[in-house]
Structure 1
């Protein structure tokens, strides 16, 4: 169902859709070196030394300091609390009178006459006022107490979070104030070290290498949950959260999963094996003895532990306990039974997660054994390392695939039941099957044909990348159309003849918008996996007047604040709360239509430019992005598209001139079925995975059209 916020924001909560890490060290593996644009794990980042990071931070400090006419230390405080974004920091500073009054160096409190003694509120010692210091909040304390306060905080690992000692005063102490009162050199150095750590952690584009004793810092202008590999210590981690790379599971989900594993796994087996529900009051009971005659401590009911039958009527039918019986009333079970069912679900995924984790350790041992065997063969003049490199590649790829598979289980555990989960589990099963095939062939590598093994390597890697592409980059899916059609969003029901088209992330774009009306005129929905996107745009609204914003666009950031991971109603609320008359920046990501470019006739408008109005020529945009001017389609092409469309409708339940046209273009210049099949496989038509029979039928439709025949599907 759909609803509308009071601000005029629309959203829908019944649309389901999709989402979005890990890796294995592939130093020895040169498999499938392809275009980075096609690599779902490609991520651009820079490696920085400490001096380079300090220079980068100081540039932002200087920019804000000059802009607001404040000291560099105060600029650091403001930037640190606003994720080092200079413009938002400046806006926050200017729009908040309280902050300006506190941080403005011109508003320092007046000091008492020189020589006058004051009593410190902490140590209660009378001290001359020259030995007192205070922040802009005017809370005065003696310098010795300030120094002790700083020392205690630093020893606890606090630096940028050090605040005024006054009760309920949260004013932060700037760096220059702290350093001016710290006399011990080791403490000063430790404070600066901790402050640098905090600055880097608060900067969204920076990430420390989590490797032991590694001081490198990584920077990416597009911080995402992507694989990052340290060139110095070889540690692989997720850039966004700093933990082990965990694709296709997103950062919040893997955090929940690891927490759950730590909390539940130690007790899961015990609970499963040693507790049952009382058949009368349904309270959970623990079996702590060998006798099967149980008495519920809550309702005093006597029953058999084995069959849960009434102990009084158990009598001579004790053998019934050994029979397995289905429970027809599982949906009516108690809360405890449902909890046990939830535990059973968790154990299902956890056991597989743990099994692949153990298998990875065995794969590492296998890799070392292979290297040892290769070395022995080379020493015995049975080929060179180059001759046997494919075995190392295979073992490395196997570990890489198994690592991916391991992290599919947390994702599947939290995925809501429905078409998306069914699709994911299908691809998960396909990947698992190919991994086991590859593992079996590697174990028998010396008797396995090299070509067969290399073919299996290729298949396994394609299964892996396909799963990652689909579930790292999918925004939403449409049913029976590859167009960005919000009326065809994939819901909960799929027929046997339905076709699903996945729309992935495309080009990002940023638009500055001034909120001149309460209502922006957006209908926002989400895909159930943290991606909110535009479902409808109200005609005549603010958004409708901006050509660059289209239906299907994914909302990524609002004023540099990421909305990934938020539900549609949360995003709607954020937009609603933007003050009327203010200007904000919206970062959007265009969806890619499911594998197809714009194919559209442009002859309807008259004009002088060739291809835009002659009526005999058409500017056609091909799927590869190129454009060409072609003569008005002849009868052969019309007949071919008509024949192909009949086949598509008969076999796939869709009628789409753009798809039929692309298939016709793939057949241009081809002389036989094999050439046509290769052309299809090398284009984005390959996403359809047409069967051999379908390829033959399509080629028949093409050849019939060339001969002037109309083809009717059998």
Structure 2
């Protein structure tokens, strides 16, 4: 769609200003279009391939054809051989030329070289079906010559398909016969619905049994798969917008390692957090040792008889409440430390409880910020849909070219990437024990957080100030508003560049083998 650069919009007569962000921004007005383009990570040249169902089918057929031509086998046999060798043609080739008969036996293929596309035959003459024990003139058999009637074949294959995707490994119905049932039999005896299921499972084997191909693990569901021939860990940008880690299959989590992410996920879901809360906020009844939470102000505690023992004690010293009378020196003598009493034990329990509370406070500090950035990252998906509507309205009613508004998508995707990284920096920081590394880590984290929040606010609020009123209606056209838009576009584009630099810096520094503390001291100098 085309649009005129001279499209006019209306805006407030006030000067549209930006707060000083302590970064160098290029001036507004007429810009070089080349410097306005921010290439998002998703579209950069990647060493992997994202494939849909059609791409997977083509890739699978190409792989089977290569194996069939190389080994001089049928397409059916090529499928079975590759599946049994993890779709690794090199591995199959080595095993095949070492001993092809051994490979055939292991994969459930006929040891005789078969040239027909469907290794099956009809056994002529009166025979008895081994399943239904009926005398049938024509039995259907594989190359193993175990014959069965068509009805028994149909029932057997239907059952195999209904049992699930293991149908691709179906063997001859004869007991302990290793002969694999070819795809042609499923096409011959199964109904249309079951044929489709079986074909889908055959396609899925190319991903499920292939070390070089993985499904996108988007928790909301995704039909795309990724093929990657490398060995190092990599962030995968799927076409569904989900970014995930090739090594562990979790959401992309730089700068945190896969091991750290696993620890964090276990910690978030483990019962140990409940135990930490109990230790931090309760005390054990001195008599029955049940945990008790103080829910009133006074220190006179009564262990509940429902699940407890009814014992009355003092919250401060855990002593018997009956000993807190006038005959023992008054109710509040437990504030006097007695070295010869059992106060030492109680003090130790109190220290342990305070340590647990402190550890829980630290965890909650990092967890709350982790979830805040997670929520902000997910909101950008909704905001992108909102921007799509606004961009279309600006194009239709004010004549702006779609390409002029592309910077909004680029900036929002940059915010999403930064939110994701910031989210995992809090996991990285939670497990960071080296005090020498803390200063630079927190410095880098603060800078990226500041710039990300500024860019996010710019997209959420400043853009609407130019074009839309309080009722989300487009303002009338004016050259002044158009000039404000050009200034805003320049600021947003350059701020996106600045934010990208801070993102690159934190990933480079935290992902480097060089000590963070050493680099921080050098930068401070």
Instruction: Assess same fold via TM > 0.5.
Output: yes
| Residue in structure 1 matching 2:111, options 106, 113, 121 | 106
Unaligned runs of 5+ in 2: 1-33, 113-118, 326-330, 336-345, 467-483
**1:164/1:377 CA distance change after superposition, 3 Å:** closer
Distance in 2 separating the partners of 1:261 and 1:170: 49
1:196 Cα deviation after fit: 0.7
Please show how residues 586-597 of structure 1 align to structure 2 within 5 Å: none
Between Structure 1 and Structure 2, the one with more strand by share is 1
Contact 2:283/2:293 (CA < 8 Å) preserved in 1? Answer: no
Please show how residues 115-130 of structure 1 align to structure 2 within 5 Å: 115-117=126-128, 119-120=130-131, 125-128=133-136
**1:45/1:461 CA distance change after superposition, 3 Å:** same
1:250 Cα deviation after fit: 5.4
Q: Is 2:405 the counterpart of 1:405?
A: no
Q: Which has the larger radius of gyration?
A: 2
Q: Which residue of 2 aligns with 1:83?
A: 86
Distance in 1 separating the partners of 2:444 and 2:350: 29
| Residue in structure 1 matching 2:291, options 282, 285, 292 | 285
| Residue in structure 2 matching 1:151, options 153, 158, 165 | 158
Q: Which residue of 1 aligns with 2:205?
A: 198
Contact 2:284/2:292 (CA < 8 Å) preserved in 1? Answer: no
Please show how residues 212-251 of structure 1 align to structure 2 within 5 Å: 218-222=226-230, 225-230=234-239, 234-238=240-244, 240=246, 244-249=251-256
**1:319/1:248 CA distance change after superposition, 3 Å:** same
Distance in 1 separating the partners of 2:61 and 2:261: 34
Distance in 2 separating the partners of 1:166 and 1:305: 75
Q: Is 2:433 the counterpart of 1:417?
A: yes
TM normalised by structure 2 equals 0.59
Q: Which residue of 2 aligns with 1:499?
A: 518
The alignment yields a C-alpha RMSD, in angstroms, of 5.9
Contact 1:206/1:219 (CA < 8 Å) preserved in 2? Answer: yes
Distance in 2 separating the partners of 1:460 and 1:132: 68
Please show how residues 311-326 of structure 1 align to structure 2 within 5 Å: 311-312=320-321, 316-317=331-332
Distance in 2 separating the partners of 1:97 and 1:331: 73
**1:167/1:263 CA distance change after superposition, 3 Å:** farther
Q: Is 2:139 the counterpart of 1:131?
A: yes
| Residue in structure 1 matching 2:507, options 454, 457, 468 | 468
Q: Which residue of 1 aligns with 2:67?
A: 64
Distance in 1 separating the partners of 2:416 and 2:195: 46
Distance in 2 separating the partners of 1:429 and 1:329: 38
Between Structure 1 and Structure 2, the one with more helix by share is 2
**1:30/1:66 CA distance change after superposition, 3 Å:** same
SS of match in other structure, 1:407: helix
TM normalised by structure 1 equals 0.46
1:71 Cα deviation after fit: 3.6
Q: Which residue of 2 aligns with 1:670?
A: none
Answer 1 or 2: higher relative contact order, Cα 8 Å, separation at least 6. Answer: 2
**1:154/1:297 CA distance change after superposition, 3 Å:** same
Contact 1:70/1:104 (CA < 8 Å) preserved in 2? Answer: no
1:354 Cα deviation after fit: 1.9
Please show how residues 428-467 of structure 1 align to structure 2 within 5 Å: 428-438=445-455, 445=462, 457-467=496-506
Contact 1:360/1:403 (CA < 8 Å) preserved in 2? Answer: yes
Unaligned runs of 5+ in 1: 1-28, 321-326, 478-489, 502-651, 653-687, 695-714
Q: Which residue of 1 aligns with 2:373?
A: 356
Distance in 1 separating the partners of 2:252 and 2:154: 42
